[in-house]
Structure 1
Amino acid sequence: MNNALNSLASEPPARILLIKLRHHGDMLLTTPVINALHQAWPQADIDVLLYEETRDMLAAHPFIHRIYGIDRKWRKLGTRQHLCKEWQLLKTLREQKYSLVINLADQWRSAIVTRFTGAPARIGFDFNKRRGWFWQTCHTQLASVANHQSLHTVEQNLSILAPLKIAPVRDVTMSYQPEDWQAVQSRLHSKGVEGAFIVVQPTSRWFFKCWDERKMAETITALQNDGHTLVLTSGPDKNEKAMIEKILALCSPERIHSLAGELTLRQLAALIDHARLFLGVDSVPMHMAAALRTPCIALFGPSKLTFWSPWDVVGDVIWAGNFGELPDPDKINTNTKERYLDAIPVEVVVAAVRKQLL
């Protein structure tokens, strides 16, 4: 095991593969690992394997050489074609002759890919649920997860670098291209948005993470009365867009505009990057705002605060647990109609926003 890692000190890796197969926010929080690898070995090509639908989170990252995607729609092609797609991906990855593979994922699939690359150095996590010869065989080194329960997700990811003895980089990077901002500017202009604006993201793909529509509307009304222009955003899901429409119906039409479901993830990043402030719930855009250093008021509910609070945020996290009882995050029915954020008072959110805008 150690011989493969020791060889990297004398012969820096030419090609590195990082594997993470999770959701959009998880992908954004892998960027400190990518940044640290680039800092240690700036000449190395760093590739990433992810789920295809999350590609946009990393597509513009300046230190990524190439992205490979597993498309979960392959399963709809039938068994034969699905297996052909998987086999072609495995062969393509093996042909890259990676010096080092970093497996941040916990799926058996990621372990198989890691082993099949044939890389001499293959690092994964020593997950409790993966204690066994097969997981060990797929990796040449396993990084400890002993203190993960007390670490933010960013810190958990960075801990995989311990066997490499390279300096961590703690910055999360959300990247977009100039054309992304140009597209957003065009949309803003078409809606008559001029000058400074606040981005409001009331929705999450899980509605138990959302605040009551009336409370959000009351907050927006207070900000309208202060003279601010607000731009509302959401994902493309019909339920999220319906929530935006309900909020809009409760607000005065002055200085409020909706781009709900209209933007790509990179365009949304560009919008947030140019905003005066971001107000939103626990969601991917919240993590984007923190990464982009846009002043942020994050409304947080029953998710694990230690793991998922916005990393190194400029602004405030308003936790519903300070105003009422919250359930165990591991026992929540994600389909519940309960709105756990409703314990948060409107006046607390308005005061926090006004403080950031001083």
Structure 2
Amino acid sequence: MPEPRSVLVIVTQQIGDVLLTTPLIQAARERWPGARVDVLGFAGTLMPLRGNPAIDELIEVTRERGWSPRWALLKRLWRRYDLALVTQSGDRAQIYGWVAARERSSLVPPAGSGRAWKLAITRHPLVGARDRHAVLEKLMLLSPWVALDTLSVSLTPPPRAPLPAEFAGLRRSPSVVVHVPSMWRYKQWPVEHYRVVIEALLCEGVQVWLTGAGNDNDRGLTRGLLELGAAPDLIDVVGRLDFGQLSELLAGVDAYLGPDTSITHLAAAVGTPSVTLFGPTPPTEWGPWPREHGAASPWLRRGPEPARIQRSGTARAPIVLMQGPSRADRDCMPCGKAGCDDHRDSRSECLERLAPEAVLAELRALLARARSEA
């Protein structure tokens, strides 16, 4: 096909997945510097892309089912682009790509009833595969035009924005951002484990910032921890910072602790030394992406026994990935399912058995390194 003059990246997923698309967007901009590059995604999920210099326009679509609310948008998109990069194999993403662009490079499912028609409408199909990291899978959509093994791959965080006035002068060293909430219970490290870690950090003179969204889930999970201290030792910014302000906060602390969630990916993008906690989710597919990493997965499916700890990143921006032991009756971690009962509100025994003392030891090591560098 001729060099495209306009490219649409379609990423109808959650906020964390949107952030993982930034290497694809940046690579497309570098490959076609004179082309228009737009991104289409769900309303409320594109915040990590605001201010990204590689993007010309963000196009928000509704999550509602049915096509009647979308007719006006579909008419506006009709063949507006030369190329669509479709990062999901779902029906709606594929249809958006077919409507919007003359040519498509699309992720398609390895099996299923919709596979045939998705292959038929795609010039450059990429078949989804197990244990392929989401960052690499999205980048592979550019394989017909870009030699991926030549790339140094980093996520692009949103531009840093000043903290609100009430928090601007509070940050000190040593300090840690702790992100307690997970959207789904099966990814949730027990709150009581977080309590052990936070209490120990505060006793050792480490400043702790609690982050999260402003929804009932996140506020409910962090509310009971506020009794452990008060500002400026324990600072609650749950629901009070946008992504630019979170980038600013993460860039100025000594370490970060969090689960498999969007803020963990943001911490990796910013370059904050991090400890991240994984349970049933394979890190080969969803582990935090280190800065300036080559186009190869930075993580194994499971860390080496007995500690199940993996390390990646650079000397200035190390990432420690910790996994808990499998269920007592089977060797199942990571199972790739939604917890032990395979639904979003399921418990995950591997996370429950990940000891807070081990997590605290890794955080202390990152803080000691920060002190020595200072």
| Shared fold, TM over 0.5 | yes
Tell me if 1:219 matches 2:229. Answer: no
Runs of 4+ in 1 over 6 A off after TM superposition: none
Query: What is the DSSP-based 3-state SS (H/G/I as helix, E as strand, rest coil) of the residue aligned with 1:321?
Result: coil
Tell me if 1:176 matches 2:158. Answer: yes
Query: What is the DSSP-based 3-state SS (H/G/I as helix, E as strand, rest coil) of the residue aligned with 2:366?
Result: helix
**Residue 172 of structure 1: how far off its partner (Å):** 3.6
Determine which of 97, 106, 124 is the counterpart of 1:124.
106
**Residue 50 of structure 1: how far off its partner (Å):** 0.6
* Contact 1:18 1:101 (C-alpha < 8 Å) held by counterparts: yes
Determine which of 300, 309, 327 is the counterpart of 2:278.
300
- Is 320-329 or 87-96 further displaced after alignment? 320-329
AA aligned opposite 2:73: L
**Residue 321 of structure 1: how far off its partner (Å):** 3.2
Say if 1:144 and 1:210 are closer, same or farther in 2 by CA, change over 3 A.
closer
- Measured in 2, the distance between the counterparts of 1:86 and 1:225 equals 54
Tell me if 1:150 matches 2:154. Answer: no
The residue aligned with 1:187 is 166
The residue aligned with 2:22 is 31
Query: What is the DSSP-based 3-state SS (H/G/I as helix, E as strand, rest coil) of the residue aligned with 2:170?
Result: coil
The Cα offsets for residues 9-31 of structure 1, whole Å up to 9 and x where unpaired, read as: xxxx2211111111111111111
> Which is strand-richer, 1 or 2?
2
The residue aligned with 1:351 is 361
% identical aligned pairs: 25
* Contact 1:32 1:158 (C-alpha < 8 Å) held by counterparts: yes
Determine which of 201, 216, 220 is the counterpart of 1:242.
220
Please give the residue correspondences for 1:253-292 in structure 2 after superposition, counting only pairs within 5 Å: 253=230, 255-292=233-270
- Measured in 2, the distance between the counterparts of 1:252 and 1:112 equals 51
Paired positions, count: 331
Query: What is the DSSP-based 3-state SS (H/G/I as helix, E as strand, rest coil) of the residue aligned with 1:54?
Result: coil
> Which residues of structure 1 form unaligned runs of 5+?
none
- Measured in 1, the distance between the counterparts of 2:278 and 2:224 equals 21
The Cα offsets for residues 252-311 of structure 1, whole Å up to 9 and x where unpaired, read as: 446111111222233223322222211111111111111111110111111122111111
TM-score where L is the length of structure 2:
0.81
Query: What is the DSSP-based 3-state SS (H/G/I as helix, E as strand, rest coil) of the residue aligned with 1:199?
Result: strand
Root-mean-square deviation over aligned CA pairs: 2.3
* Contact 1:174 1:269 (C-alpha < 8 Å) held by counterparts: no
**Residue 32 of structure 1: how far off its partner (Å):** 1.1
AA aligned opposite 2:200: A
The Cα offsets for residues 134-161 of structure 1, whole Å up to 9 and x where unpaired, read as: 323422221344xx21321111111222
AA aligned opposite 1:22: Q
- Measured in 1, the distance between the counterparts of 2:152 and 2:54 equals 15
Say if 1:260 and 1:307 are closer, same or farther in 2 by CA, change over 3 A.
same
> Which is helix-richer, 1 or 2?
1
AA aligned opposite 1:319: Q
> Which residues of structure 2 form unaligned runs of 5+?
291-312, 369-374
**Residue 185 of structure 1: how far off its partner (Å):** 4.5
* Contact 1:233 1:259 (C-alpha < 8 Å) held by counterparts: yes
- Is 58-67 or 211-220 further displaced after alignment? 211-220
The residue aligned with 1:42 is 33
Determine which of 200, 203, 209 is the counterpart of 2:181.
203
Query: What is the DSSP-based 3-state SS (H/G/I as helix, E as strand, rest coil) of the residue aligned with 2:144?
Result: helix
**Residue 239 of structure 1: how far off its partner (Å):** 2.6
Say if 1:14 and 1:166 are closer, same or farther in 2 by CA, change over 3 A.
farther
Tell me if 1:87 matches 2:71. Answer: yes
Say if 1:49 and 1:329 are closer, same or farther in 2 by CA, change over 3 A.
same
TM-score where L is the length of structure 1:
0.85
Tell me if 1:330 matches 2:337. Answer: yes
Tell me if 1:160 matches 2:145. Answer: no
* Contact 1:48 1:67 (C-alpha < 8 Å) held by counterparts: yes
Tell me if 1:103 matches 2:86. Answer: yes
Query: What is the DSSP-based 3-state SS (H/G/I as helix, E as strand, rest coil) of the residue aligned with 2:288?
Result: coil
- Measured in 2, the distance between the counterparts of 1:99 and 1:138 equals 14
